[in-house]
């Protein structure tokens, strides 16, 4: 195979930018979200003259939970629209956690809405729950569609549950989430047709339309139009696939005007390789070398069918990409000293930060065996070039192993509590590291965490 890439990524000088204050965007986002929820409750309050009897209380609670469920659906769509402002200021990983937490709230509210409305209506009409359910679903406008949407939400929630999620491939989970777009559309129609707070209330209807049309516009632009435009402009293709460690390969890519992507060290893209068996999935992989005007590089471990197939990519394979995404960058730095703590293939974004972060930087890289330490020669080269420190910790052989505890980390980095910490690795290692850092006295605001669980 002929290589058209340099023998190794050219080293980039560390930035000299000073630590930045925290961004106000996360706080503002919380205020906007909770302010919207308060407005939804105000809508119910303004339309409710009185609540009488048990049936009235149950129906009123059902209306509130339905309104909040509809509102949170729109919020969830906005959170995952990949809007650059939110993505850079809050981070894709953090937005994904907000989205997952919001999804649990939404499903809980939707279930409560269904149960409370059926119960309240059955008490009011003095009919059985089954008869009342049949009447609602079959005879109320758009409620059959709303029921289908609700069931789609339930299926997505079950697939996203932690116990099930571990047994489902990323690609399957990702595609099942597309069903939620249909579910939102179906439920939206039901709310406007049957919601007591919307029927006859033109202002409320217009506000609801504006909320959902705004969310749909963000999704259409940033998740579909922008990636297509970038694909046509940058025309990415594979130039080389290079083994790095057992089951780990680096994929080099080139194209046109790569500098216009404005990627930063620590960020990732979603990559769609246009070849048999891979074209239908866009998976997230971090850059493993500092962005270069002539090429980009990702380093991937074979942990599933998609990632394993990358080792068989042929030069010239066309690539569609979305991004760059993520706030796991120098923008998060608060202190003048930094610890990079990585495990396994989590070294990929840390490799770029190790090279480019300003100030005093120490890298701790954990792996199962010495041969699993991918990019080790490059890391040693970066350490030598910038006078930084790198510690390798392996589980096997046992003589070189070290527990992931506060004491062990302080033994490697005595001034740990004074540093920013960038953390990236498998979930088990990450959770242990978070506990160790907390025990070591590192403030939570200075622990910057990148998860693989998107």
Q: What is the pLDDT of residues 388-435, one digit of tens each?
A: 999 999 888 777 678 899 999 999 999 999 999 999 998 889 999 999
State pLDDT tens for residues 294-304. Answer: 999 999 998 77
| Residue 236: predicted pLDDT | 94
| Residue 452: predicted pLDDT | 52
What's the chain's Rg over C-alpha atoms?
A: 25
Predicted confidence (pLDDT) at residue 3 exceeds the cutoff of 60: no
* Helical ranges in 256-405 per DSSP H: 305-309, 347-356, 376-386
| Residue 26: predicted pLDDT | 84
Give mean pLDDT, residues 254-281: 90
- Reported confidence tier of residue 1, pLDDT bands at 50, 70, 90: very low
Within 8 A by CB and 6+ apart from 43, the residues are 67, 197, 204
Predicted confidence (pLDDT) at residue 139 exceeds the cutoff of 60: yes
How many alpha carbons lie under 13 Å from residue 111 in its C-beta half-sphere? 10
Q: Show contacts of 196-202: CB within 8 Å, 24+ apart.
A: 196/47, 196/63, 197/43, 197/44, 197/47, 197/63, 197/67, 201/47
Predicted confidence (pLDDT) at residue 313 exceeds the cutoff of 90: yes
Q: How far is CA 270 from CA 41, 223, 323, 352, in A?
A: 38, 11, 7, 18
Q: What percent of the chain has pLDDT over 90?
A: 52
- Separation between Cα atoms, residue 270 and residue 282, nearest integer Å: 5
| Residue 73: predicted pLDDT | 93
Say if residues 71 and 10 touch (Cβ distance below 8 Å). Answer: no
Within 8 A by CB and 6+ apart from 223, the residues are 81, 82, 322
- Separation between Cα atoms, residue 208 and residue 74, nearest integer Å: 10
- Separation between Cα atoms, residue 254 and residue 276, nearest integer Å: 20
| Residue 142: predicted pLDDT | 84
Sheet holding 337-343, edge to edge: 389-394, 360-367, 337-343, 420-424, 447-450
Q: What does the block give as tokens for 255? A: 């194209």
- Separation between Cα atoms, residue 259 and residue 377, nearest integer Å: 26
Say if residues 430 and 423 touch (Cβ distance below 8 Å). Answer: yes
Within 8 A by CB and 6+ apart from 414, the residues are none
CB contact burial 179-195 (16+ within 10 A = b; e otherwise): ebeebbebbbebbbebb
- Separation between Cα atoms, residue 339 and residue 406, nearest integer Å: 13
| Residue 7: predicted pLDDT | 47
Predicted confidence (pLDDT) at residue 261 exceeds the cutoff of 60: yes
- Reported confidence tier of residue 224, pLDDT bands at 50, 70, 90: confident
> Nearest Cα to 319, choosing from 400, 239, 208, 247?
239
**Residue that wins the pLDDT comparison between 85 and 316:** 316
> Nearest Cα to 394, choosing from 360, 427, 429, 422?
429
């Amino acid at each position: 195979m002929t290589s058209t890439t340099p023998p190794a990524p050219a080293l980039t000088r560390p930035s000299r930018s000073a630590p930045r204050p925290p961004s106000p965007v996360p706080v503002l986002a919380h205020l906007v979200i909770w302010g919207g929820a308060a407005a939804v409750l105000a809508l119910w309050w303004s339309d409710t003259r009185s609540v009488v009897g048990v049936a009235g209380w149950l129906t009123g609670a059902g209306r509130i939970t339905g309104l909040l469920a509809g509102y949170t659906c729109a919020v969830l769509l906005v959170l995952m629209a990949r809007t650059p402002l939110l993505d850079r200021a809050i981070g894709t990983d953090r937005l994904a956690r907000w989205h997952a937490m919001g999804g649990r709230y939404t499903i809980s509210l939707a279930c409560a809405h269904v149960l409370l409305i059926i119960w309240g209506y059955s008490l009011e009409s003095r009919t059985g729950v089954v008869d009342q359910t049949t009447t609602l679903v079959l005879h109320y406008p758009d409620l059959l569609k709303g029921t289908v949407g609700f069931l789609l939400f339930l299926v997505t929630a079950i697939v996203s549950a932690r116990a099930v999620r571990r047994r489902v491939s990323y690609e399957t989970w990702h595609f099942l989430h597309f069903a939620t777009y249909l579910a939102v559309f179906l439920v939206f129609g039901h709310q406007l047709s049957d919601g007591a707070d919307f029927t006859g209330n033109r202002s409320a209807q217009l506000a609801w339309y504006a909320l959902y049309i705004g969310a749909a516009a963000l999704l259409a632009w940033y998740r579909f139009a922008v990636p297509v435009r970038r694909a046509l402009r940058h025309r990415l293709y594979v130039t080389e696939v290079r083994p790095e460690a057992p089951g780990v390969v680096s994929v080099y890519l080139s194209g046109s005007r790569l500098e216009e992507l404005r990627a930063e060290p620590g960020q990732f893209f979603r990559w769609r390789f246009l070849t048999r068996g891979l074209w239908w999935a866009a998976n997230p992989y971090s850059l493993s070398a500092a962005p270069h005007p002539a090429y980009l590089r990702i380093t991937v471990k074979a942990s599933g069918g998609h990632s394993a197939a990358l080792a068989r990519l042929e030069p010239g394979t066309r690539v569609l990409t979305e991004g760059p995404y993520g706030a796991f960058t120098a923008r998060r730095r608060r202190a003048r000293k930094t610890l990079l703590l990585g495990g396994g293939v989590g070294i990929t974004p840390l490799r770029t930060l190790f090279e480019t972060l300003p100030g005093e930087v120490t890298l701790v890289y954990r792996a199962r065996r010495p041969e699993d330490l991918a990019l080790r020669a490059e890391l040693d080269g970066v350490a030598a070039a910038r006078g930084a420190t790198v510690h390798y910790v392996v589980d096997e052989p046992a003589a070189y192993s070290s527990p992931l505890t506060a004491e062990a980390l302080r033994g490697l980095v005595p001034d740990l509590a004074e540093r920013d910490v960038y953390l990236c690795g498998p979930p088990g290692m990450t959770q242990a590291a978070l506990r160790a850092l907390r025990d070591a006295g590192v403030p939570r605001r200075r622990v910057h965490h990148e998860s693989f669980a998107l």
